[in-house]
Every structure is written in structure tokens, then in C-alpha cells.
Amino acid sequence: MMHQTTCDLATQQRIHVVGVGGPGMSAIATTLQQMGHLVSGSDIKNSPAIERLRALGVQINVGHDIAVVEHCDYVTASSAIPQHNIEIVAARSTGTMVLSRAEILAAICSQRPTIAVAGTHGKTTTTSLLVRIFTHAGLDPNFIVGGDVLNESTGARWTNSQWTIVEADESDGTHLQLPLTGSILTNIDSDHLDHFNDLASIAESFAIYLSQIEGPRIVCIDDPLIRNLPQSGDWHTYGFDTTADFRCHDVIATDGLTEFVITDQRGAGLSVAVSMSLRGMHNVLNVTGAVAMAVSCGIAMQVAADAVETFAGVGRRFQIIGDFNGATLIDDYAHLPREIEAVLAAAKFSDDGWKRIVAVFQPNRYNRMAVMSTEYGDAFMNADLVVITDIYSSGTEKIEGVTGELVAHAVRARHPGQEVLYFPSRDSLAQQVSAVLQRGDVCISMGCGDIEFLPVEILQTLEGKDR
């Protein structure tokens, strides 16, 4: 299906990015700058992301000012930026086209054949794996990823390559607007119910998404909702299921490494052995999907497997931050029940020798917790100690009676014998968590808010004691 984009990036444009410090928009700004466009941006405060953009030559204003959108060809902003933002209002008043993130990303994708990774969970890791495989194969792809690809030390790059690799985010319907050559679909789960009415609507959107792609569609057959989607065209499956076209099997986890086999069951049954530093069965699936897509694009299966062995991971995905008195501190972006369950299972069965798993979770978005808090009841089954803090709003309106304690109640209700602590104050969380950690623990802090800074804050409490 042909997509028409509203922005022509084939010639140099002057583009202003509102909220440029956010992970999604900073990646867009990086790409546009490296494509040769004249890029400016604004945000309410400085950040490391803004400093990296300045180093690339992007002109950034801290604070919003209507003067910065003068003489721009386009202004773009994420859905998190309110429409009454003064720069957006000023742009519209002068007839300057204001583009959503989906629209500017679609314009970028239209410049080259583009492979996307879609699905509720695993998008960032699978996209990053594709980048590593294509880079290892000498294809040097353009990419836009929702986290820092540690091998590349960035989450976005434009090399003018023949291939572009991106995440297809479903949260605001972006995935339906992208002109794509091929896609991986990892799974379908309940989320973003403020945009979708229910799980059935989410599944329907992914069915439409796949129907718009003419090239390879690589889908996880282990997911029951994906299994029931209508199939057509260049459709290949992957998973543990014995019927999968690309089947992963014989998984062994030892000393922080995971080894397994991928078999292409479509023809002669070619198999490759894979060794990776990623933990967990969910990452076995992520790797298998990435290898399947690479093979569908003409990359040899062994080349793809060799690339996985050199994959350094993604920022905020089971990222080991440091050691606190013999306890290992890990940061992870997991914020939905299935993601949390997968991360804790990876720690439980990783053969790292950790004595206790301490899970620290910061719920995200009041509107999400208002409807989903009970779904977290079984997510922490593999944790020995669960610590819940209060909700990180992510710009959502506070709802009376909706707090992080709802998640704590859900876990206690499902598992009355499990030790669950509720520490509502984010300011004192590092002190409270450091007080309960023991030598031999692994402490995994999870969420998509400012919980990412918790491991460093815990390490700083140690430095304070040493003074």
C-alpha cells in the first residue's frame, strides 16, 4: 500500500523540533541534522541529550520562544507536547506546517527502504539487534531506535545507506502511518488504552499494519493474538513453537551467557548456534526475530548469528550499573506486567548466582494505573522482595485514589506470602532501598520514569557513608 508523506525531505529544509530533549524527538533531530537539514530545537531544560545535539550542530533554545519558528519550513513535536505550546501556536498562525512525530518519521522512512519492528514489548532490543546485524554485514544502516544502541553509542544515525531501520510505535497510531518495506511483529498485549479502546482494537490495528506492508513480515507465532491474525503475502513465523519457520530451541544459560540454536525450517533445515550476553527467553525470541528478518533481506544466517555474539545491548535493558556492598544494581525499562515478568524470569534462571532478587518498580501514568493496576498481581512472582514507589505521571493528570499502592495491593492479593514494601516517596527511595539490600542480592529497578536514576542514587549513598 502506498503512503503519502506530508513533508519532502529530498531537498534541504529548515525544521524546528519542539521538546527536542525527549528520547523520541532527539533521535528525530539527530537524523534530520545528519541528513543535511537545518535543524533547531527547544526544550524546558538542559540535558545530556541536548548537549549531544548541540555537539552535532543543532541550534537549541532552552525555554520556548515564538521567534525560533520564524522562517521554518516545518515544525514538529511529539504527542506529549500540548497543542497550546506557544511555538506550535505561532507556527500555525503563520501557516507553517506542524507535523506530528509520526508524520516526520514517515517522511524519513520514505527516503529509503525501511524495516520496522512493531509490537507491545521488545521493540527497542529487536530493532537494536537488527542494527547490529546489518552493521556487521557491512550495510551500515540508517536507524532510529528508542534507546541507545550501546555498540553505536547513539539511538539514531543517518549514513545515507540503502537501508533504514526504525521502531514502529503503536502508542499513538504511528505504526499505521509509516511507509515500510518489511516488519517484525514481536507480540500484542494490552497497553495505550487511552488511544485504543480495548485489546481487540490493538490487535486489529496490527492486522491493518501488516496488511500495508508488501515485503517480508516476520511474526512471532508463540503469541496467541498474532497466531490468529489474517496471513497474506511474504509472511514468515518465528518462535519456540515446533511449527515456526524460524525455530529457536535448546536454550542453555550459563554464567551470564545464553546459548541456543535457530533452525530455518522452511527448506533444508539450516541451523546456527547462537551465543549472546542477553538474558531471558524473551531475548531468545527477540534475537530469533531479528535473525529471521536479516535472512529475509539476504544476510547469511551465520553472519547474523556472529553479529549477535558481539551485541553489547541497549541502554536501560537489563543494564548492569554497579555494585553496592556486594549487591548488583540493574536498570531496566520494563513497565508493563509481561515485561516485568520476563525481566525477573531472566534474572531467576540466568545462573548468575544471585541469592535474592529485589524488584523495585515505579508505576507509570495515572490513567494506565487506574485501569491496569490489578494486572500487575502476578508480574513479580520471581522476586524475593518487591518494592513499589508512587506513580510517575509522564504528564498525565493525577486521579484521586490512584497511587502506586494499588500495585502493591494487587501483588499482596495474589501472593499473600510475598514480601512487598510500599515506599511512596521518590526522594527518599534510594536510602530506603539501600537499607534493605544484602550482599549477593540483585536489585532490578524498573519503570519508564525517573526510576532510571535510582541505581546511581544508591551508589551515591555509599559514597556518602565513605566520607
Condensed to tens digits (0 to 9), the pLDDT of residues 338-371 reads 999 999 999 999 889 999 999 999 999 999 999 9
Intervals of the chain under pLDDT 70: 1-4, 192-193, 195, 464-467
What dihedral do alpha carbons 319, 324, 327, 333 form, nearest 10°? -30
Who's near 76: CB < 8 A, 6+ residues apart? 15, 16, 17, 18, 25, 28, 98, 99, 100, 101, 103, 104
pLDDT value at residue 196: 73
C-beta atoms surrounding 116 within 10 Å: 29
- As a whole number of angstroms, the distance between CA 71 and CA 103 comes to 20
pLDDT for the residue numbered 158: 98
Of 78, 75, 77, the C-alpha closest to 67 is 75
Radius of gyration of the chain (CA): 22
Q: Which CATH class is domain 14-101?
A: alpha beta
Cβ–Cβ < 8 Å for 319, 331: yes
Q: Supply the DSSP symbol for 314.
A: B
Give the pLDDT score at 192: 66
Return all residues near 452 (Cβ < 8 A) that are at least 6 apart: 316, 331, 333, 445
Q: Which residues of 50-59 are buried (b: 16+ CB within 10 A; e: fewer)?
A: bebbeeeebe
* Fold of the domain spanning 112-309: UDP-N-acetylmuramoyl-L-alanine:D-glutamate ligase (3.40.1190)
Task: Identify any residues that bridge with 332 across adjacent strands, giving them in sequence order.
Answer: 446
pLDDT at 11 (0 to 100)? 96
The per-residue pLDDT for 264 is 98
Q: How far, in Å, CA of 455 to CA of 36, rounded? A: 38
* pLDDT of res. 467: 42
Predicted structure pTM score: 0.90
- CATH annotation of 319-466: 3.90.190.20
3-state DSSP helix/strand/coil percent for the chain, to nearest 5? 35, 25, 40
Place of cell 516545518: 74
Strand partners, 183: 116, 217
Distance CA 168, CA 209 (A): 10
Domain ranges of the chain: 14-101, 112-309, 319-466
Contacts of 31 (CB under 8 A, 6+ apart): 108, 142, 144, 156, 157, 158
Closest of 164, 146, 152, 209 to residue 9, by C-alpha: 164
The pLDDT value recorded for residue 63 is 95
- Nearest alpha-carbon partner for 231 in 217, 244, 215: 217
Which residues are identified as catalytic?
Answer: 123-124, 167
